[in-house]
Amino acid sequence: MAHFAKVVDGVVETVIVAEEDFIDAGAMGDSSLWIQTSYNTHRGVHYAPNSRTPDNGIPLRKNYAGIGYTYDAERDAFICPQPYPSWTLNEDTCDWDPPVPHPDDEDSYIWDEENQQWNKQ
């Protein structure tokens, strides 16, 4: 079984788990609308199942697809919606980077767009 995203006009409408033969046979409509995505791929890295430990797997389309994500055919990547206007798209990961790096500690933070800073929660 694999995950497939239905992409219409560049936007992910739904994500399902199915056999590739099921998709290829047109069981869910036009098979060209369905693009495989990997639950274990994030920011261009493949992770071991149910972990955040990178493994030797091949990353598929930079990020796992989600409803409302865009599919960029040129980059062959799924890209989530921009979380804040100040964040920029990282061309390598196809994910959004904040203008100030997230603090590297165990505390929980939330981005403050108005003041362009991370605030502890």
Domain boundaries, the chain: 1-81, 83-121
pLDDT in tens, 68-109: 999 999 999 999 999 999 999 999 999 999 999 999 999 999
Q: 3-class SS at 109?
A: strand
Does the structure show a pLDDT above 90 at 27?
no
Stated pTM of the model: 0.89
Best CA proximity match to 35, nearest among 70, 5, 3, 76 = 5
Q: What is the mean pLDDT of residues 22-37?
A: 92
Contacts of 114 (CB under 8 A, 6+ apart): none
Helix (H, G, I), strand (E, B) or coil at 32: helix
